[in-house]
Structure formats: C-alpha cells, structure tokens
Amino acid sequence: MHDHQGVELRHLRYFVAVAEEGTMTEAARVLRIAQPSLSQQISTLERRVGAPLFRRRPKGMELTEGGRILYASATRALAEIESSLVQARDARRLVRVGVCRSVPEHLLTRVERILTRDGSLDVSFEEDDSQRHLDRLRTGALAFAVIRVFHPSDDLAEMTLADEPQGVVLHPNHPLVERAALSWTDLADQELLWFPSKANARFAEETLAHLAGHGWTPQLRIVDAHSQALYCHHLRSSENLVGLRGQGSIAADAGMAWRPLASHPPRRRFILATPRTSPWAKTGLLTRRQPDRG
C-alpha cells in the first residue's frame, strides 16, 4: 500500500523543476538546494507514488509515462495554488459601518472615501439608531459608526465629519416663516417635533438641556419618523409645531423652510467613531486628515 497522503507540496515543486530543467544539477541550482537532497526528495516521491517517475539517462532525467501524467496534473495544481494565494493576499477586507438615520448622504460618500483610500477595505453601511450603533461598536459587531452627538465622548476615537448649528424647520404656512431668524422668545409657544430619546439618549438629553438653558422647554411631540417625507408630513399637521435640524438635513424639494436661531443655537456633530480600545483606533484611519467644519 502506497502512502499517497505523504506526498507534500514541496515534492511536487521539486518534481516539476526536475522535469522542466532536465537534470538534477540544474534543478537543484534553480531550487537553491543541494543536489543530493533533491535526489533524495525525488526518490521519496517515487516511493510514495508507488511508481518510477523518471528514467535516469546519462544526459539527464526523462519522464516515464506515469511521470508525464503526474507532471500534467502537478503543473495545473501548482498554478491554481499560486493563483489562489495571490487572490487571498489581495482580498479586500469588509468593514461594517453603522449609520444613524439622519446622516446626510454626502457624509457617507466621504466616509467611504476615507476608509477605502488604500484599496484594502470594502465598506458595508448598516442603518440604525445611534444608540444601537454605540452598543454594537462596544461588542465589536461594527468596526465604525457614523453617529450624531452633541459633545465628544471620552471612550470613542472619532473624526468630526460635520459640525453645524441646528435651526428651526417650519412648514411653509407657519406664522414664523416670514422671519429671517428666530429668537428663543419666538419659540416660547411652539411644540417640538422630536424623536424617541432611546434612539440617541445622550444627544437628546444634552440638546433639550441646551434649549431649557435658553428658556425654551417645549412640549415634545414624539414621532419615530425615519423618512424625510414622514417628518415633513408631521410638521404640516399642526400650526405651532416646529422641527430642529441642521440646514443640510432638509432637501430643497421638501417644501419646508429653515430659519437660523439668532443666538446660541444648539449644535449637531456627525462623527465617524470607533471605541478607543478597538484595534481600528490604532490604524490611524481617523487621524489621516483634518475634519471638515460645517
């Protein structure tokens, strides 16, 4: 019984080299091994195959019929292995990036450009609430997340993608729409269209605290409006209902008006973040370029 399982990849490489070079001496030179060692390896291969692969001639090595069969298969196998090794080496790594629902589309383009700059990564975006993304970052289910924050977080390595003042979103027939800018006093009797705080608890808490600090503690109308169409639909439903968003968050064709706050507007930052303890924080991806300020 022949030990076919004992045939190793190196045996096939040695065999092909001898077949192509025609002599043990030349094959040993190409392989950069000693000729006696090569001769021993070829003998081992023949013993494990259970058949002679070469006829030893005065002028060199000549393949037997069995040797020609093995040579055809071995060259194909070695070429496929080399091709697979190249593909494995060049394979791009998939990076999962969480995206909060309110992020402007142009920021995703920038994130993709940042993460794929060196050609080694592919990006897969996954939409959900900021709070869920933070939870998934900490468990390692996500590599990065694009989230909305009010202040920096000590446990995150981050790059600021946008930092913009929030203003007031009004439906076109709202009584305040004729004003170029709004004061905090103007908003005293207005309800605020708001999102469920569990979606981004820290941002909600800090933003509402900022509003209260400037004298506006609005009644909140909580709506889980994931789409802009639904958000605008709710704003149209009441005369004294307003939204609070960055100017770039409302598309020009939405039919809504955006008015700045005349003083001390709350700010909204979008960041690309990963936990400081994550291996991704050590790659330098978040420190290779300066953040844009909106």
Task: Label the pairing between strands 93-99 and 121-127.
Answer: parallel
What is the percent of the chain where pLDDT is above 90? 60
**Given a cut of 50, is residue 292 above it in pLDDT?**
no
Query: What integer pLDDT is reported at residue 293 of this predicted model?
Result: 40
pLDDT in tens, 211-254: 999 999 999 999 887 777 888 899 998 889 999 998 877 765 57
Residue 182's pLDDT band (cuts 50, 70, 90): very high
Query: What integer pLDDT is reported at residue 66 of this predicted model?
Result: 95
Residue 262's pLDDT band (cuts 50, 70, 90): very high
**Given a cut of 80, is residue 90 above it in pLDDT?**
no
Query: What integer pLDDT is reported at residue 294 of this predicted model?
Result: 40
Residue 157's pLDDT band (cuts 50, 70, 90): very high
Provide the 3-class DSSP secondary structure of residue 122: strand
Q: How many CB atoms lie within 10 A of CB 62?
A: 13
Residue 91's pLDDT band (cuts 50, 70, 90): low
Query: What integer pLDDT is reported at residue 21 of this predicted model?
Result: 93
Q: What span, in angstroms and rounded, lies between the C-alpha atoms of 203 and 268?
A: 9
Query: What integer pLDDT is reported at residue 1 of this predicted model?
Result: 47
pLDDT in tens, 16-55: 999 999 999 999 999 999 999 999 999 999 999 999 999 9
Query: Between the CA of residue 261 and those of 96, 215, 235, 239, 254, what are the distances in Å?
Result: 37, 13, 18, 19, 21
Query: What integer pLDDT is reported at residue 3 of this predicted model?
Result: 58
Query: What integer pLDDT is reported at residue 154 of this predicted model?
Result: 84
Query: What integer pLDDT is reported at residue 119 of this predicted model?
Result: 78
Higher pLDDT, 200 or 176: 176
Q: How many CB atoms lie within 10 A of CB 128?
A: 17
Mean pLDDT of 151-155: 81
Q: Is 259 exposed, middle or buried (0-12, 13-18, 19+ CB in 10 A)?
A: buried
Domains of the chain: 4-90 (1.10.10.10), 94-282 (3.40.190.290)
Q: Is 48 exposed, middle or buried (0-12, 13-18, 19+ CB in 10 A)?
A: middle
Query: What integer pLDDT is reported at residue 7 of this predicted model?
Result: 87
Residue that is written with structure tokens 């605008």 in the block? 232
Q: What span, in angstroms and rounded, lies between the C-alpha atoms of 76 and 70?
A: 10
**Distance from first CA to last CA of the chain, Å, rounded?**
76
**Given a cut of 90, is residue 86 above it in pLDDT?**
no
Q: Read out DSSP for 255-278?
A: --EEE-BSS---EEEEEEEEETTS
Task: Label the pairing between strands 156-170 and 241-246.
Answer: antiparallel
Q: What is the pTM of this model?
A: 0.62
